[in-house]
Amino acid sequence: MTLIATLGRQVGLSSPKAPTFGQLAELRRQRKALARLDDAALRDLGLTRQEAITEARRKIWDVPSTWLR
């Protein structure tokens, strides 16, 4: 058994539709990019600076619930 599979089960990613490592890496990249947006871009998205920071700080395994259905 691989380390990633073991860790995935420990954090609750053992469902058949668990996100792939590539999806998790992309999600992390997007969250970091969100944190770097300026206030004007965040306003265009309808987000506050605090909401962007909160999203960017989410753990890698804290994925959207739609990924697990």
Q: For residue range 36-65, what is the model confidence (pLDDT) as tens digits?
A: 999 999 999 999 999 999 999 999 888 877
What is the per-residue pLDDT for 60? 84
Residues 64 and 7: their CA atoms lie apart, in Å, by 18
Residues 57 and 52: their CA atoms lie apart, in Å, by 9
Residue with more model confidence, 67 or 47: 47
Q: For residue range 31-41, what is the model confidence (pLDDT) as tens digits?
A: 999 999 999 99
Q: Is residue 2 very low, low, confident or very high in pLDDT (cuts 50, 70, 90)? A: low
| pTM beyond cutoff 0.85 | no
